[in-house]
Amino acid sequence: MLNKQLPEKKDLREDGVLLIHSIFYTIQGEGPFAGHPAIFVRLAGCNLQCPMCDTDYTSTRFALSPSALVNEFDTFERRRALVVITGGEPFRQTLFMAVHALLAAGYRVQIETNGTLYQDLPYDRITVVCSPKTGSVNANLLPYIKAFKYVVSHDSVAEDDLLPLTALGHSATPRLFREPKEHLNGMPRPRKTIYIQPADHGNSEDNAKSMDAAIRGVLVHGYTLCLQIHKIIGVA
């Protein structure tokens, strides 16, 4: 079923109020904090419309100020708690005040983004993970991205680097973004950690093929395998 949630323009409010789809306490299943307990803040709306996206980020939305957002977490375990700001697309809304409020309250902050937008944030104190959906990433954001995450489908893999050509059916020209590589002793290597995740096709045959494609990328290019722990253990 194709994603029919329409793309939305940036909504940068001066008061820092955020439009939120949902808040829930779970286990981070992907990326550098996989396995960590985390409070997910799913922001409403996205600036892209990826045809194969299966995440609901528009059916509900409510507004919270930065202070009200922090107070919302009082029912959760706060000790060393990680807050994951996701979407939709988080950078579509004003994050500065909410991020500072969370850091001041003692939370660690991770932001998950498609990488197309940028705003000034205390990047030395937060973790930005980018899952590219287009052929480019915002040049201002690129230096602050800590890791990239790619979902690999066996039927859309580039042979030179074994990364996907597109993501979730969104167009990418000439192909899905790759960070330019640095060279060490004449050999190219990625500057940042690259997580590679096999696509979930909903059937065992295609899932096995995409797992094989992901494993090949890990073994050949040194990527880090990402297995969506939350799905494996059956939590949201």
Q: Give the pLDDT of residue 189.
A: 59
| Residue whose C-alpha is closest to residue 201's, from 165, 152, 234, 131 | 152
- List, for residues 205-215, the tens digit of each pLDDT value: 999 999 999 99
Distance CA 220, CA 131 (A): 21
Where is pLDDT greater, at 227 or 233? 227
Within a domain: 144: yes
Within a domain: 209: yes
CATH number at residue 76: 3.20.20.70
The domain tally of the chain equals: 1
Q: Whole-prediction pTM value?
A: 0.92
Distance CA 157, CA 92 (A): 29
